[in-house]
Structure 1
Amino acid sequence: MTGHHADAVESGVKAFCECVRSRTNRSEDGDPLMTVAFSPNAPLLRINRGRSQTDESEQRGHMLLCQGVVAAWRNPRAHELVDDSPARALMMLELLNDLMTTTKAAVRTRKRRAA
């Protein structure tokens, strides 16, 4: 590897997961965390008003993106050497930034409980 781009992506995903855990006061990780946080059926964090089919689709899409980022980006970098190009790593970090911004702006829908 010529740089630490994959390490930056892995760290970014870990920071994103910690943000979700902090906002929800949950201890899960990966798919279970993203499902309990963003599921269109009784989410802990709602990214919109949840009043229309479009809102539900957007909520579901955010959950799926979050699940996909953890599975496709963090897990491979945590278990093997991945050589991300600077441009690819930047694209991944930009998407992580968007997911983090949306998550921080999301409204808690019910009282936070420890898992």
Structure 2
Amino acid sequence: YPSVYHRAVVNKARHRLSVAYLYGPASDVRIQPLPKLSDGDRPPLYRAVTWSEYLGIKAKHFDKTLSLVRLNDNDKDNDNNNNPLISGVRRVDKTKSINVDSNTKILAAFA
């Protein structure tokens, strides 16, 4: 499935270790971009969904999950929950490192 661009720091003296993370939020939690990461110039790329809705879409459409919650360029509303299968294509043009708080730094992608 499509994944975000990322980097891994490797060590020539040791093998790389990957860990599966099997914990998720409560089923009614809304998953959406942080408000401070999007505005009129950088709209969200994906609509808000609950964790339960995301897992349901993933169970039914496994490798297409992200494209099915992706917003169209015409869809500026991040709260369109009437249609669970909104899709569209948007190219990532920029990335920016953003400090969320003193302990958290994220890499955001913008169209």
State the TM-score, normalizing by the size of structure 2.
0.29
Taking CA–CA contacts closer than 8 Å with sequence separation of 6 or more, which of the two structures ends up with the larger relative contact order? 1
State the TM-score, normalizing by the size of structure 1.
0.28
Q: Which structure: greater strand fraction?
A: 2
Q: Which structure: greater helix fraction?
A: 1
